[in-house]
Amino acid sequence: MKGIKKRLQEGETLSGCWLNLGSSLTAEIVGMSGFDWVLIDLEHGAGEQQILLHQLQALEHTGAAAIVRVESFQKERIHRVLDLGAEGVMCPRIKTAKEAEEASKGVHYPPQGIRGVAKMVRATGFGLNFDAYSTGIRENILGVIQIETREALDELDEIAATDGVDVLFIGPADLSMALGIYGQLDHPLFQEALGKILDAARRAGKATGILIFNPEDFRVYQDMGIQLIACGSDATFVAQGARDLAKNLNCMKKTSLPKSR
């Protein structure tokens, strides 16, 4: 465990990015680049369960903590990725406090939760560290709930107050779409929703997070008090790097002269 939950509780701002190519190699490259955390995306990303295992193994020796976004808040999806060794789990499109509670319970073993118990899994060192792992879940595993629907905005205080919810993570694309102002993050409606989320998190003593699209906005959101900030993904890094290089090479090409007959 790399202690991202404790670091958040101590007030630190942590930078991260998305991993959506389903590649253990890009996971390792990104993990070694200096990010505090990475988000392995099983909701929209190209990876699946077996690839997730390889990604988590690749990230083990890097400085980046691994959070996994699952497709739903079903306990089977949550405890599956935690058993593989994820340090946090993100549940998308949570609409109600009841759903947030179900997601949180999926992280914890009984009596606090409903997570199934398996000792011979990667997270517990295949049985060697089960006692330490099971008693340390509350201190070490980060529970992240995405706020990206209109319904969630109506239950913000209840969601934020849910035991086991550590971070309210703003999904700007989905939230702005739900508000009918897709991509307009400066729009008053989005700014109003953002303020409500931040206020609810502060009242509950919870952290907030967001995915940004322009690295120059990092300080803006940090100054708002947002601590878990992501920018970019392995897909954007590869795509942008390839496009920039191809553009530069194409600009350097000499103009072909017509062949003489």
Q: Which residues are catalytic?
A: 44
Is-contact 185 211, C-beta < 8 A? no
> Which residues of the chain carry a pLDDT beneath 50?
none
Alpha-carbon span 167 to 145, nearest angstrom: 6
pLDDT of 133: 97
Alpha-carbon span 166 to 188, nearest angstrom: 27
Domain ranges for the chain, please list them.
4-241
Domain range 4-241, CATH architecture: Alpha-Beta Barrel (3.20)
